[in-house]
A and B are shown apart, each in its own frame.
Chain A
Amino acid sequence: MKVCDVFGASVASFLFVGAAAGARAGEDTARETLPAGIQIAALEVHPPRIELRGRIDYSQILLSGRTEAGEQVDLTRLAEVRPAAGLVEVSPRGIVRPLKDGSGEIRLEFLGRSVSIPVAVAGYEAPFHPSFIRDVEPVISRVGCNAGTCHGSAQGKNGFKLSLRGNDPVLDHIALTDDLAGRRFNRAAPDQSLFLMKISGTVPHEGGVVARTGEPYYEILRTWVAQGVKLDGDVTRAAKIEVLPRNFVIPLPGMKQQMAVLATYADGTVRDVTQEAFIETSSSEITGVERGGVVTALRRGEAAILARYEGNYAATQLFVMGDRAGFAWTDAPVYNHVDALVYKKLKTLKTLPSDVATDAEFLRRASLDLAGLQPSPKQVRAFLLDGRDSRKKREEMVDRLIGSTEFIEHWTNKWADLLQVNPKFLGEPGTEATTRWIRQAVASNMPYDKFVQSVLNSSGSTLQNPAAAYFKVLRQPDLVMENTTQLFLGVRFNCNKCHDHPFERWTQHNHWEMAAYFAQVGRTNAPNSPIMPVNAENQLDGQPPAFDEIISDLDKGEVTAPYSGKTVAPAFPFRLVTGSPPKGSRREALTAWITSRDNPYFARSYVNRIWSYFLGIGLIDPVDDIRAGNPPSNPELLDRLTHDFIESGFDVRKLMRTIVTSRVYQHSYVANRWNEDDTSNFSRALARRLPAETLFDVIHQATGSVPRLPGKRFGTRAAELHRPAMDVGDGFLALFGRPPRESACECERASGMSLGHALNLVNGPTVAGAIRDPQNAIADLVSVEHDPGRIVEELFVSILCRMPTDEERKKFERTVQVSDPANADSLNQEEAKLLADRFASWEKSQNIVEWKPLDFEIRRSAGGATLSALGDGSILASGVSPDKDSYTLAAYTDLKGITGFRVEALADNSLPKKGPGRSGSGNFVLSELSVAQAPVKEPAATKPLALQNASATFAQDGYPAGNAIDGKPDTGWAIAPAMGKNHKAYFESKEDGGPDGGTILTFTLDQNLGGQHTFGRLRIMATTSKRPVRGSELPQPIIDVLLTEAAKRTPQQKADLYRHFIAQDPEIAQKLRLSTAQDLAWALINSPAFLFNR
């Protein structure tokens, strides 16, 4: 009797209890229920029949119910399951495992409906011979041994290294069986195998317990050890996998879906590998995935479900619908097939597309996307005024933009990025030459396949035939290959350089086989070409090359795979469906393969790339990471566009036109209730921050400032700067993510918007410089245009490429209103100081004389005219109009220290020619004015008050105001020819008048000329202000303000004063007009409407 038998029973029982303690191993059997309101109309089940071959075989059931509404819901865990007794057992999650050989059926029941699956089990009793490749490796992967964080890491863990995710079974077999003389297994005592004791926790294992004795995984490994740790050389890994269900919809968050993964082997057998496969979601916000493949919907949205098993990858799209009560689809107009295919999907997703963008939005969007510039104000106005059918004029505009000079510059720049046209690699002459070559290719709309063929096949001088410069930039076979596959196939073959691709079927061997195609590219210095200067950047393989190199095909040169140390023959990672094997040099063979119509990646990746340029996100995104695990959001659309592109002969402009004239491209960025959460199905335009060069150019375009780039001709656009190292002063282009042109990855271009960007726009020199440029269009505008409304409009059209709305116009008119004191803030420090200084000195320079009305109780006309008081202190003469006259006017006043008087001659409608005189022409002549004063207490003690320093606001030639006090009765003050207007004359008293206790003032106005040259209407006021009494000529309200102590002025008074000041200072007004217009321009530039293409 062997020792082992004694303990067999107790060991078995402890093992099983041990398994029970391991709660992680158990299935979550919490009961699910269907959300209320879902009525099942029919049941569907997968697979249609189950055949289990052998003890460890299993099959995942997928039971789904079809609802009345046509939705599909997972019932796998909800149904009553009745397996044929003793034949199989079915876990709560629907995994069918055999119990004995035989046949029967499994009946699944749900709410009165049922469906059956026939089941056959064979080979249950047959000895189990696990295969290392087919059975052991999947377990090692599933329990996580070869994960990148564990023994699959580049250094392995604790001296034990496995290939990452089991991509190299031979290496793993050696590691398990040969390292340290077979230390890790023990054939004599299989359970003593170190690796089994590690994974089961019998020996301390930092990776924890990942399989327990007695469990299927452990038993598979143990049996393999016991049977001699064989590597079965003829067994191959699964050839492909399939993940089910495909492209499905989960109606509501919280609901679940069981997945199944089926592996197909080279011999055609299909095996359920759901338990061993890795099933992951592309978005943990949309779905969660539990081990064993149960997907839980978390919230509305789209995600890819990715399955990985033994180097195979498969993915399917999943959509969580969410509550869409109230949704009703309405057909939107279809411009072309792009729309039809996008709307087809939107309809199934219950997502309603946005309306089309306005004409102005479209014009700006299309100009930016196609030409990298905004439309000019003139173009904007013309386009908006064009009253024809909007769709027609848009298409015309697209045709005008495609192929324009700006278009050519824009797309040349794009290709120069992708081809890394960089003086660091090519020198200045090479950069110029290559850029010129690209420009010519873009200008001639070279078919895309021809373009790529030119790049990949070119030989000769890199200066004479600049397409060949591709091989000057990229110098090592592996690097050329990685760049080429990423750029022209959208496939990242660099991942599988050091290990098999972690998310695709590409193996490390594929990498070196592909690299071998570039192993025979010759690079020799052209005769007499100077050597490039030595610096770290161009020393690509030891020695700096010449500026001009000759690219050629050699008949020797191989790559050596680092993992084997052996040379690798060139081979394609997959064969094309049709076509004979390519011939010619290695490069030619590869180019033919890459650019073939039948290469599933070539045309497709470029179509996807172009699509992303216009719609902001690829149908596959990132655009240069095409793989099974990154499926397109709209496969039908991508297929159709690809097909059309190939059929058109790789006509890039036609492809662009198709996209840009679709209604989908023309969607507004404004979301509706039913598409606000959509970011991947093109139901609305996605706002895209302008690319660095475009942003720079457009800032200058919008402000009319001509950029001055260092070392470049005046007016060179950033889009024309073909030297990534060159930047504008503040590093604007680098900050905003212009590609450094050091790789072909689209990710080189950054498009984010962060605080740093915002600060640069708000404070940085680029925007400020363009706006403040004294030569710019804003300065021109305000020099000819003073109307705030027109200034606002012009700025809107120049910067935002649209007219302001009424509301905006009204709001922003205030902003550019120069007389608004609030707008003084717009001045810069220097200007503000100037304004303050000038305001202060103006105010200080004002001589404000406060005139006090006199109430003339005595009004006597020597000639018998009637002198009546009008209540405003003025006196109107009427009635008899004598030839000459003398008025005597007397008034009582409390004023003390009277310093002068003002005589106003006032126009009045009752007078001839409105006066102010009574003569036929309206003139008058004041021959002599005299004033006498007497204290109130002694009215008789009259004393004359002598006058001096007479002046007038207006005086007739030969009749100055001084004549009225010169003592000569035949001279006087008159006002011809300014009749019909008001005039003032000022007279100072030689000594202060108005003693204490009140004064009676008596004025005598002699008007001796004759011909009725007498006053028609006049007013006399007195002042006690200091002399001179002729003050500043200001409107009375302004004088009132100025007479008010500064601290006591009301805001309104201050505003009035400011407004009056500005109005009389055109220089300051102009400065304000410019600065407020600049402020508005700054605000508009710093708005999303400008910074984003939307």
Chain B
Amino acid sequence: MARAMAPRIRRLVSRCLVLAAAAAAARTPLGAAEDPPLAKLERPPSKVSFFRQVRPIFQAECQGCHQPAKAGGKFVITDYSELQKGGKSQSETPILVAGKPDESLLFQAITPQEGKPPEMPKRSDPLSKERVELIRRWILDGASDDTPMAVKSLISMDAPPVYESPPVVTAVDHSPDGQFLAVSGYHEVLIHKADGTGLVARLVGLSERIESVSFSPDGKLLAVAGGSPGRMGEVQVWELDGKKLALSQPFTYDTIYGVSWSHDGKLVGFGCADNTLRAIEASTGKQVLFQGAHNDWVLDTVFSKDSSHLVSVSRDRSMKLIQVATQQFIDNITSITPGALKGGLMSVDRHPSKDELLAGGADGIPKIFRMHREKKRVIGDDFNLIRQFEPLPGRIFAVEFSRDGERIAVGASADGQGEVRVYQAADGKRLGSFKPASPIYTVSFGPDGKTVAAGGFDGFVRIIDAEQGTVALEFMPAPIAGGSKFPRRF
């Protein structure tokens, strides 16, 4: 049953993490009747298992601090292979010496040394005697990794995910020719015909969660930002012809957000949960921009018309302008007056023909800004603001300009309800409005600007008439096992 992973997908994450996640994913289908009985204690086997016995201790007691995102003591315990390397104490005592607990720093750290209490875990009770003994025996036995090969790879292009329930739709994008709709799935991007008549392709990759999808300007490539929450981030670039994963590049230890293309299709920009804004070459994955001006997660990006600048929005409430060539921070496009910024910004888009930016976020108010400052900043100004639309209830998750720049679409969520609204960009006049019983996290205008594709919490994609606010089409993008929903036309 073991299946080979897509060969080009680099293994990014420690085996144990992939394993545990996958193993847990592979649990029984839903329904309480089939759940295992409540916890019963089993006698441990005589030979200590890293996989079953030691790893859980590391997970419980150590990896909160010794994880890739933090790496206390420059030492990471989430990956068996990292154990062999060790952290800052490398030059002195090795972390792990097979067969010799007393020479292993790992063991020294959890046992009393020279009358002092154990060094680790810091700010917590020492490990129980039983746990220390398990670790001692494991090292004594050779400190081997007994993780079964069988569980190391589970989902791939050849073994796409099986759905019991729909995943949340976090991203939709129309192909430039309007033929296709890319929709986020679990572990994959689903390419549908834009009229809802069929699933064209399943682009299965390593990332469990897809945060953002974007067709290249020429429509030949699809950039995907995602990753596995709390573990790794990844940018994928797919060649749509041949469903080929042209690039898989890991970044940071959490999912990647807000992927965007430069006008010439050469660069891909994106934001990260380590508060950085980055851009890479789409063909090579080489990082060409790295910017740390934000102080919270960077959630969306867009290039200027000539791609000389990259704009980012962040949970830190600000929108920032960065020069691509120099990687320099140029300006805060939003006001910097204390108290002026309310709630994080979650989505940004650029007018198709002007350097004007549409942004929305937690305060529920869509706003259009000019990208480049024309007046010197004075205290208290919000000079770049061009237009402010009526507020939506709740939080805005998605904004987009229509391809002619005449309209904007906004997707929002409030107390379990969603809303899609379309406005005239020029005067803020509201056109259609649609309120599904599901928060909306993503919107994408059809090529003619007359429809908007929207997705969100409930996993459906809906094609909405931009003027009427009616649903033209509704379908479940994920192929649900045992009777997937056929599209409904209204």
Contacts and interface: CB of A to CB of B under 8 A. Distances in A.
Contacts of A55: 32
A197 B230 contact: yes
B154 interface: yes
B255 interface: yes
B159 to A, nearest CB: 7
B230 A198 contact: yes
Given A3-B159, A3-B162, A178 B439 contact: yes
Given A23-B130, A187-B165, A14 B41 contact: no
A219 B40 CA distance: 14
Interface in B418-459: 439, 441-442, 456-457, 459
Nearest to A227: B30
B167 A188 contact: yes
Contacts of A181: 168, 170, 211, 397, 441-442, 456
A205 B26 contact: no
Interface string A5-42: 11110111111111111110110000000000000000
Contacts of B164: 188, 226
A126 B31 CA distance: 10
A626 B64 CA distance: 40
Q: Size range of the interface on B?
A: 35 or more
Interface stretch (B16-24, B197-205, B237-245, B367-375): B16-24
Contacts of B442: 181
Contact of A186 (B17, B20, B186): B186
Given A159-B297, A188-B478, A127 B31 contact: yes
A159 B230 CA distance: 12
Interface string A222-256: 01001110010000000000000000000000000
A186 B27 CA distance: 14
A828 to B, nearest CB: 58
Contacts of A203: 17, 21, 229-231
Interface stretch (B49-57, B110-118, B214-222, B323-331): B49-57
A204 B170 contact: no
B60 interface: yes
A197 B254 CA distance: 14
Interface in B327-381: none
A888 B211 CA distance: 142
A832 B155 CA distance: 100
B65 A206 contact: yes
B413 A3 contact: no
B31 A189 contact: no
Question: Chain B at the A interface: mostly helix, strand, loop or mixed?
Answer: loop
B44 interface: yes
A661 interface: no
Interface stretch (A210-218, A592-600, A648-656, A1027-1035): A210-218
B41 A19 contact: yes
B24 to A, nearest CB: 3
A22 B125 CA distance: 13
Contacts of A127: 31-33
A709 interface: no
B30 A213 contact: no
B315 A159 contact: yes
B27 A191 contact: yes
B413 A206 contact: no
B167 A186 contact: yes
A216 B38 contact: yes
Interface in A187-208: 187-192, 194, 196-198, 200-208
Given A21-B53, A182-B170, A209-B59, A188 B161 contact: yes
A183 interface: yes
A8 B28 contact: yes
A455 interface: no
A170 interface: yes
A753 interface: no
B5 interface: no
A859 interface: no
B151 interface: yes
Contacts of A19: 39, 41
A167 B78 CA distance: 35
Nearest to B440: A181
Contacts of B149: none
B301 interface: no
B234 interface: no
A227 B478 CA distance: 17
Contacts of A22: 56, 60
A13 B151 CA distance: 14
Nearest to A130: B32
Contacts of A7: 23, 26, 150-151
B457 to A, nearest CB: 6
A207 B168 contact: no
A203 B228 CA distance: 10
A430 B68 CA distance: 65
B389 interface: no
Contact of A201 (B30, B33, B63, B478): B63
B141 interface: no
A16 B41 contact: yes
Contacts of B67: 204
Contacts of B416: 173-174, 178, 231
Contact of A215 (B29, B39, B134): B39
A184 B168 CA distance: 11
Interface string A818-862: 000000000000000000000000000000000000000000000
A3 B65 CA distance: 32
A214 B168 contact: no
A202 B32 contact: no
B92 interface: no
A198 B21 CA distance: 11
Interface in B109-160: 124, 128, 130-131, 134, 148, 150-151, 154-155, 159
Nearest to A124: B33
Contact of B39 (A23, A209, A212): A212
A85 interface: no
Interface string B244-263: 00000000000100000000
A177 interface: yes
Contacts of B413: 178
B56 A201 contact: yes
Interface in A103-145: 125-129
Contacts of B397: 181
B39 A188 contact: no
A127 B57 CA distance: 33
A19 B413 CA distance: 38
A2 interface: yes
B483 interface: no
B165 A20 contact: no
Contacts of B44: 17, 20-21
A197 B67 CA distance: 14
B330 to A, nearest CB: 27
B61 interface: yes
Contact of B165 (A3, A188, A206, A215): A188
B123 to A, nearest CB: 11
B400 interface: no
A208 B25 contact: no
Contacts of B195: none
8 contacts: A3-B154, A7-B151, A8-B27, A22-B56, A178-B457, A188-B165, A202-B17, A216-B39
Rank and list the top 7 A-B pairs by shortest CB-CB distance, nearest first.
Answer: A191-B24, A128-B32, A4-B26, A204-B67, A201-B59, A209-B60, A203-B230
Interface of B: 1, 17, 20-21, 23-33, 35-36, 38-42, 44, 49, 51-53, 56-57, 59-61, 63-65, 67-70, 78, 124, 128, 130-131, 134, 148, 150-151, 154-155, 159, 161-168, 170, 185-186, 208-209, 211, 229-231, 255, 296-297, 299, 315, 395, 397, 413, 415-416, 439, 441-442, 456-457, 459, 478
Given A19-B41, A127-B33, 12 more contacts: A3-B1, A4-B28, A5-B28, A181-B442, A188-B163, A197-B21, A198-B230, A204-B64, A204-B67, A209-B59, A219-B35, A226-B165
